[in-house]
């Protein structure tokens, strides 16, 4: 069974700048310092682009985790999609969407996450009991960092 959630962030940063910040390996690493995320394969700094991959090493729940994601869709500066190609999930898809706010003074960023834990009863229980909340908290930690204008490479 899959879990889907959405997170919306409003900021005064322009759409193109926020789009690039969201693709920045360095900004992501800085925003995820608590989980010691490091890019260890593929694109390891700067901006990731369509068709490129990054392998992250991080610590979650006291365990080392590795996950490789690929940018599978991109229409600059409106959206891009990253999907797990190797890692701990049965599937993981993250859609990043950017629109100008109605006043024309900033950007609305919407993150849509769709994931499934590994098969079995334990995986389905983990999805419901803590994984969805934990992943939402990661996004809601990352986005204010980006909205504050972290520097893109």
Q: What is the mean pLDDT of residues 53-74?
A: 94
Q: Please indicate, yes or no, if residue 91 is contained in any of the structural domains.
A: yes
Grouping H, G, I as helix, E, B as strand and the rest as coil, residue 37 is coil
Q: Please indicate, yes or no, if residue 39 is contained in any of the structural domains.
A: yes
Q: Please indicate, yes or no, if residue 104 is contained in any of the structural domains.
A: yes
Which is higher by pLDDT, 112 or 2? 112
63-72, 95-104, 123-132, 138-147: least confidently modelled range: 123-132
Q: Are 31 and 58 in contact (CB under 8 A)?
A: no
Q: How far is CA 94 from CA 97, 102, 103, 105, 112, in A?
A: 10, 25, 27, 26, 6
Q: Are 112 and 97 in contact (CB under 8 A)?
A: yes
Q: How many CA atoms lie within 13 A of 135 on its CB side?
A: 22
What pLDDT sits at residue 153?
A: 41
H or E element in which residue 64 lies:
strand 63-75
CATH of the domain at 138: 3.30.530.20
pLDDT more than 70, % of the chain: 92
Q: Please indicate, yes or no, if residue 95 is contained in any of the structural domains.
A: yes
pLDDT digits (tens, 9 = 90+) for 10-41: 999 999 999 999 999 999 999 988 889 999 99
Q: Provide the domain limits for residue 73.
A: 3-147
Q: How far is CA 111 from CA 78, 96, 119, 125, 135, in A?
A: 12, 5, 25, 24, 11
pLDDT digits (tens, 9 = 90+) for 106-130: 999 999 999 988 776 566 667 777 8
Total structural domains within the chain: 1
Please give the Cα distance from 30 to 39 (Å, whole number): 11
What pLDDT sits at residue 118?
A: 79
Q: Please indicate, yes or no, if residue 153 is contained in any of the structural domains.
A: no
Q: Please indicate, yes or no, if residue 152 is contained in any of the structural domains.
A: no
8-12, 72-76, 146-150: least confidently modelled range: 146-150
Q: Please indicate, yes or no, if residue 59 is contained in any of the structural domains.
A: yes
């Amino acid at each position: 069974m899959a879990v889907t959630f959405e997170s919306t962030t409003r900021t005064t940063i322009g759409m193109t700048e926020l789009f690039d910040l969201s693709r920045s390996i360095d900004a992501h690493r800085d925003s995820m310092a608590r989980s010691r995320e490091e890019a260890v394969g593929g694109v390891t700094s700067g901006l990731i682009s369509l068709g490129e991959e990054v392998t992250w090493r991080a610590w979650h729940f006291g365990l080392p985790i590795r996950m490789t994601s690929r940018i599978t869709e991109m229409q600059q500066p409106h959206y891009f999609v990253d999907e797990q190609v190797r890692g701990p999930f049965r599937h993981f898809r993250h859609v990043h969407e950017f629109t100008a706010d109605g006043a024309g003074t900033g950007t609305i960023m919407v993150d849509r996450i769709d994931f499934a834990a590994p098969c079995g009863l334990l995986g389905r229980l983990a999805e419901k009991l803590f994984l969805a909340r934990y992943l939402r908290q990661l996004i809601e930690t990352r986005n204010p960092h980006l909205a504050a204008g972290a520097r893109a490479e």
